[in-house]
Structure 1
């Protein structure tokens, strides 16, 4: 019964035995490497670099993708590993030279993650390779042994990744996106049925609506493992993030249309035709994300959009304002479906032309990966960049730790830098969280291993128990928690170095002193240097995005009312700020967040920019600048609405940036509300002008709805709202 209970607890803590599978694989590789190098080749140098190469690449590096992809990353990274070890070995002659190298390499390796946050875990392993080689003894003649040990370890680990119990492949973001597309497509069909036959199966519509919201919620970056979330600066990851934002807007517009169902069936309603065409295109775009699937065809959707837009060129007849209102919403929905479909094409390797991307939302797909990464780096080479701050913080902390270890002539000084790496995080809150388990675990591990080494002096005993300590440190310790993991890792290091040197029981004392010193350096750096992490940077960039979005919206309304300028410059500014917000959120996604702060649905904030950019282009295409000039009553209504909306954007930007209470947001209305607003203006107005008025007014109402979804929740809503 105890065994059954233990297995049950193990399954709960480690679904699929992923952690134990990795720990067993790492234990086998590390044991083979260490035994072959230490006792087979008789070389402590080979054994040291072989074992730590295995631990750095197998435990500290959190590599993305399935097993074959991780194996390729390991093998192709070998030249970088060789360069770091060579640099550390050649700079080990002087404490100050090694510390200067640590400052440069620490910054470059950490800042390189700005282009792909999923490689931050591998960056920690890169740091370790330089750290290990940069400590005395200064023996450049042993460089071949050092490189040989690391190479042997990484190649063997890469082979083990593929052939020894490979990890089960989790659900990828593309698969989640395809599932969300299928769920949203089903709800679009249900919404179309609601328009043409309002009394047909409301229960089925509710079930499809709930499923659509559930599968779209699964697209939030915070609900996906960092190694699989599309957070890189490359074309495919950017396109996937735009696809997710577009699906959220499609779902919101479909929900609005379903709520605006007419009291009697309207079989030939253009909105229903757009919904059904959008449903088919959405499903096809989702399926196209699967490997080997054909690209999505936009012809049917374009035909449906053209059919719905045709009445703009035709005058005559009294306007059916409720129907126009639904058509405007359906056209906004179809525009977002088109963005999703083009994004799916880009994510699968296509380059959009001007006809596919008139808004320029996918302009990045026309540039090389190196150009995109350079833009990303350049955007963050700024004094207030969170990426720049965290890279400088880590580099300075590691350099200071290297100086302290060298000046104090610590025997195993690299443990000081290892502790600094373990404790230091991108925010002071994360650093405090990591400090306690690091100290308690090290004290507990030293308290156990010290007396053991005092009693047991035979190296053969430690050679026998090495595999046991490996599986405990990287398997059991990880499942039990950070304190256990740190304690068992301390015991592991004691067992290893008992076979490499004659330190004896004092090794545990040395380990404890080194960790304490490294922790002090890490905490001081975390508290003294930009302690707020990416959250502050994200809030500032999001506030600027909201402010520029409000300006673009008001300029767009001025254009349709006959203003002199198009809102092109304002839209370009929204695009630039979208890039910064997007990048800030990718780093924020990896941090721990204070639950006491107001919560913000950051994925919806990103959607706000994605809604404004293509929305303005589509609106001006169907409602050209000056289309409502000469209608003073409509101008007054729209200017008033746009002004209030601009103020709401500014107020919400201030609230997001500083946590202040903003003025009440505009309340999103349904089609009946919009009808009541414009009805007094109709009179003998031209039908085409009425359609322009309805669409512009409905677009503003949709933006108000987006703002309502961004609004931070109070503490009572934490856990039910968005993520901070």
Structure 2
């Protein structure tokens, strides 16, 4: 009964058997390598590096993508693994030389993840390879055996990833983005039908809307595991993040347009025709992200936008002759929606590797796509070589902690000193709070494992027994232990190490004692480093960049309004500054997403915060293209209205920035952005104004209302939401 209950518990925690399949692959490869090298070839060095190479690459490395991609990453990482083992072996002659190497290697390996946080999973494995090689005995002549053991392990593990019980390929981010685009396109079709055709069934329209919102919610980075999320600095991953933000804004604009449907359908409404073109472009662009599809071409959308803009000015005389302000509102909303659809379409082209022509990067959001991948990665590295960079802080903290642990293990002449560094690597997190959280299971599990191991070794001293139970302990440590929790995982890993070293260098029950002492020392070093060096973690850096990002957004909005009123030059510098701030907060969020933190303390919906800026940049650029600077000059009543709206919006940005600085966001009342409200706001200003000026006023006021709605949609995430696992 107890066994059935435990099995049911394990199946619930691993419904797809992914963890057990990975544990089975690791167990088989590790057993073949260890038995073949230790008992077949008779080499303890080959066996040690083969076994730990399997554990490092198969358990400590958290690799992204499907099985063939993981196998390719493992094989491509071999030159770096050889270099780390060679450097560690050559520096093992001196404690201080090894510690200096640990300082450099620890920092470089950790900081390299800034270019692609998905590959941060390799960092712990790389550090483990150096750690293992940097301890005595100093035997440069044994380097070929060390490299041979690791190479054998990595090659066999890569083959096992592909051919042995491969994991089912989960739905990729591109597939979810394509599904979201399809759902949004379906809702756009329904909104177009509501504007121009006999009303569609309200239930069908509401169902399409709900499906669209569910699909768009699924593309938030917070719902994607770090190994699959598009968080790299490269052009394609960055384009996917822009696409997600644009799609959220497309859905919001479509919602506004659906709410603005006229009482009676208008068969030849320009907004309806443009909406249908937007639906077709959104659907085609989303499907272009799927394997084997062709790149999307936004040319048809550009034609539809041109036609809508040509039909946009209604009348040329006094507004009293043709006061069709509601239609102007709908047209303005449709054009704003088309702007975001075009951003989405161009982003999909960049994400699929298609080349951009001169007009595709006109918004400035995709200007980076004209640069080489190495240039983009260099920009990413350079942006984090700054005093406030959380990634710089965490890399330095880890490197210093590992170097101190290496010195302590060498000075104290610990027999298995690499366990000290392994414990430090396991306990140390990006913040002091997370480090304390990881400490308890590490220490408690090690105590339990040491007690069990010591008791077994007092009774059993025959190496053949430990050779027989090795596969069982491997499966328990990396399968069952991982499913039962950190304490069990640490305890079973301690038992595994005892079983391994009982065959390599039998020491009796003192091996368990050495393991306990080493882990306690490493845990203390990790905790002290976590408390003493930048204890607040990546969230602090993200909040700082978020505050500056929101301030830059507010500045860009204000200067855009001033330019349209003829009171300031075009806001080119403000928009450029906002784009730079956008890159910084985007980079910080990608790093934050890749790290481990308590979901109960996540109080900011960062996906929504980032989307707010993506609404500002293309919206301001398109607004200035259709409404040149100074287009509302000489209309004091309109200037007063727009300055008032911009002032309220600035206050909203400031309030949100203050909340973000303190790591929280509050619920906000919804902002009404319907054309009826728009008409009520501007009706007192219409006397004597020509229709062209009214058109400019409507579009600017509509843009400001849309920005206010974007801010109002930023709510705190649900407490206890999906956990983001890191290293």
TM-score of the superposed pair, with normalisation by structure 1 = 0.97
Q: How far 1:199 sits from its partner (Å)?
A: 4.0
Question: Which residue of structure 1 lines up, in the alignment, with residue 150 of structure 2?
Answer: 150
Distance in structure 2 (CA, Å) of the matches to 1:457 and 1:681: 95
Q: How does 1:417-432 map to 2 (within 5 A)?
A: 417-432=421-436
**In the superposition, relative to structure 1, how do residues 659 and 290 fare at CA in structure 2: closer, same or farther (>3 Å)?**
closer
Q: How far 1:720 sits from its partner (Å)?
A: 8.2
Q: How does 1:109-508 map to 2 (within 5 A)?
A: 109-197=109-197, 199-312=199-312, 315-316=316-317, 318-508=322-512
Report the 3-state secondary structure (helix = DSSP H, G, I; strand = E; otherwise coil) of the residue aligned with 1:499: helix
Q: How does 1:627-646 map to 2 (within 5 A)?
A: 627-646=631-650
Report the 3-state secondary structure (helix = DSSP H, G, I; strand = E; otherwise coil) of the residue aligned with 1:710: coil
Distance in structure 2 (CA, Å) of the matches to 1:17 and 1:160: 16
Q: How does 1:59-70 map to 2 (within 5 A)?
A: 59-70=59-70
Question: Which residue of structure 2 lines up, in the alignment, with residue 695 of structure 1?
Answer: 699
Q: How far 1:299 sits from its partner (Å)?
A: 2.4
Q: How far 1:394 sits from its partner (Å)?
A: 0.3
Asked if 1 retains the 8 angstrom alpha-carbon contact of 2:449 and 2:494, the reply is yes
Q: How far 1:163 sits from its partner (Å)?
A: 1.0
**In the superposition, relative to structure 1, how do residues 439 and 6 fare at CA in structure 2: closer, same or farther (>3 Å)?**
closer
Please, which moves more after superposition, 18-27 or 193-202? 193-202
Distance in structure 2 (CA, Å) of the matches to 1:205 and 1:344: 27
**What CA deviation, in whole Å up to 9, does each residue of 1:473-492 have, x standing for no partner?**
01111111111111000000
1:718 matches 2:722: no
**In the superposition, relative to structure 1, how do residues 343 and 399 fare at CA in structure 2: closer, same or farther (>3 Å)?**
same
Please, which moves more after superposition, 307-316 or 573-582? 307-316
Number of residue pairs matched? 721
**In the superposition, relative to structure 1, how do residues 529 and 278 fare at CA in structure 2: closer, same or farther (>3 Å)?**
same
Distance in structure 1 (CA, Å) of the matches to 2:312 and 2:333: 15
Question: Which residue of structure 1 lines up, in the alignment, with residue 630 of structure 2?
Answer: 626
Report the 3-state secondary structure (helix = DSSP H, G, I; strand = E; otherwise coil) of the residue aligned with 1:547: helix
Distance in structure 2 (CA, Å) of the matches to 1:659 and 1:650: 14
Distance in structure 2 (CA, Å) of the matches to 1:645 and 1:235: 32
Q: How far 1:391 sits from its partner (Å)?
A: 0.2
Question: Which residue of structure 1 lines up, in the alignment, with residue 678 of structure 2?
Answer: 674
Segments of structure 1 that go 5 or more residues without pairing to the other structure are none
Segments of structure 2 that go 5 or more residues without pairing to the other structure are none
Q: How far 1:719 sits from its partner (Å)?
A: 5.2
Asked if 2 retains the 8 angstrom alpha-carbon contact of 1:25 and 1:160, the reply is yes
**What CA deviation, in whole Å up to 9, does each residue of 1:250-274 have, x standing for no partner?**
0001111111222111121211112
**In the superposition, relative to structure 1, how do residues 579 and 665 fare at CA in structure 2: closer, same or farther (>3 Å)?**
farther
Distance in structure 2 (CA, Å) of the matches to 1:175 and 1:667: 32
**What CA deviation, in whole Å up to 9, does each residue of 1:505-557 have, x standing for no partner?**
11000000000000000111111111111111111101100000000001001
Question: Which residue of structure 2 lines up, in the alignment, with residue 705 of structure 1?
Answer: 709
**In the superposition, relative to structure 1, how do residues 10 and 280 fare at CA in structure 2: closer, same or farther (>3 Å)?**
same
Asked if 1 retains the 8 angstrom alpha-carbon contact of 2:667 and 2:716, the reply is no
Asked if 2 retains the 8 angstrom alpha-carbon contact of 1:173 and 1:219, the reply is yes
**What CA deviation, in whole Å up to 9, does each residue of 1:299-349 have, x standing for no partner?**
221121111111356624523001100111111011101110110010000
Q: How far 1:113 sits from its partner (Å)?
A: 0.2
Report the 3-state secondary structure (helix = DSSP H, G, I; strand = E; otherwise coil) of the residue aligned with 1:467: helix
Q: How far 1:563 sits from its partner (Å)?
A: 2.8
Distance in structure 1 (CA, Å) of the matches to 2:640 and 2:608: 30
**In the superposition, relative to structure 1, how do residues 198 and 426 fare at CA in structure 2: closer, same or farther (>3 Å)?**
farther
Q: How far 1:8 sits from its partner (Å)?
A: 4.0
Distance in structure 2 (CA, Å) of the matches to 1:346 and 1:328: 27
Please, which moves more after superposition, 335-344 or 704-713? 704-713
Q: How far 1:595 sits from its partner (Å)?
A: 5.7
Q: How far 1:671 sits from its partner (Å)?
A: 1.5
Report the 3-state secondary structure (helix = DSSP H, G, I; strand = E; otherwise coil) of the residue aligned with 1:563: coil
**In the superposition, relative to structure 1, how do residues 450 and 586 fare at CA in structure 2: closer, same or farther (>3 Å)?**
same
**In the superposition, relative to structure 1, how do residues 5 and 407 fare at CA in structure 2: closer, same or farther (>3 Å)?**
closer
Asked if 2 retains the 8 angstrom alpha-carbon contact of 1:92 and 1:98, the reply is yes
**RMSD over aligned Cα atoms:** 2.0
**What CA deviation, in whole Å up to 9, does each residue of 1:57-109 have, x standing for no partner?**
00000111111111111111111001100110111111111111000110000
Q: How far 1:694 sits from its partner (Å)?
A: 0.2
Please, which moves more after superposition, 74-83 or 561-570? 561-570
Q: How far 1:596 sits from its partner (Å)?
A: 6.1
Asked if 2 retains the 8 angstrom alpha-carbon contact of 1:198 and 1:263, the reply is no
**In the superposition, relative to structure 1, how do residues 516 and 611 fare at CA in structure 2: closer, same or farther (>3 Å)?**
same
Asked if 1 retains the 8 angstrom alpha-carbon contact of 2:197 and 2:265, the reply is yes
Asked if 1 retains the 8 angstrom alpha-carbon contact of 2:10 and 2:484, the reply is no
Q: How far 1:190 sits from its partner (Å)?
A: 1.1
Asked if 1 retains the 8 angstrom alpha-carbon contact of 2:60 and 2:124, the reply is yes
Q: How far 1:663 sits from its partner (Å)?
A: 12
**What CA deviation, in whole Å up to 9, does each residue of 1:609-634 have, x standing for no partner?**
21111111110111111111111111
TM-score of the superposed pair, with normalisation by structure 2 = 0.96
Q: How far 1:28 sits from its partner (Å)?
A: 0.5
Asked if 2 retains the 8 angstrom alpha-carbon contact of 1:459 and 1:499, the reply is yes
Q: How far 1:200 sits from its partner (Å)?
A: 2.5
**In the superposition, relative to structure 1, how do residues 625 and 48 fare at CA in structure 2: closer, same or farther (>3 Å)?**
same
**In the superposition, relative to structure 1, how do residues 502 and 4 fare at CA in structure 2: closer, same or farther (>3 Å)?**
closer
**What CA deviation, in whole Å up to 9, does each residue of 1:559-585 have, x standing for no partner?**
111134110100111111111111111
Report the 3-state secondary structure (helix = DSSP H, G, I; strand = E; otherwise coil) of the residue aligned with 1:350: coil
Distance in structure 2 (CA, Å) of the matches to 1:390 and 1:514: 23
Please, which moves more after superposition, 659-668 or 48-57? 659-668
Q: How far 1:588 sits from its partner (Å)?
A: 1.3
Question: Which residue of structure 2 lines up, in the alignment, with residue 513 of structure 1?
Answer: 517
**In the superposition, relative to structure 1, how do residues 598 and 464 fare at CA in structure 2: closer, same or farther (>3 Å)?**
closer
